[in-house]
Amino acid sequence: MSILAKTLLPFIFLLAILHNSEGQFEDYCVADEQTVEEQLAAAMDWACRNGADCRPIQAGAACHLPDTIKDHASFAFNSYYQKMKSHGGSCYFNAAAVLTATNPSHDSCKYEYLP
């Protein structure tokens, strides 16, 4: 085993332990910036019909503004992901979403995070 491998293995092991520890990293599911609006809209519709709480993105609700497909899809994707990740749900949505450690909450719009 090379010296580099001997040096890196304990570091990689430590990172794996820290990453898998409860409460170490929050993850949010948001719309991928590169996804076209039609694909985002279809994926958002699916998320809202399959477990996401989409009431906060309705007109007049806390997360309606900014009123964009990307912002509404991000909220719906995260809602679905947080509720379903412990049951095998993912943040994929036909490649329309990505995971981020940055909390996307803004103003009165609070994105849910469940460990």
Q: What whole-number distance in Å separates Cα of residue 88 and Cα of residue 66?
A: 30
pLDDT at 84: 97
Ranges of H-type helices in 1-115: 3-20, 37-49, 69-84
Helices (H) and strands (E) in the chain, counts: 3, 2
- CA 75 from centre of chain: 9
pLDDT in tens for each of the 115 residues of the chain? 666 545 555 555 444 444 444 445 799 999 999 999 999 999 999 999 999 999 999 999 999 999 999 999 999 999 999 999 999 999 999 999 999 999 999 999 999 999 9
Predicted local distance difference test score (pLDDT) of residue 17: 41
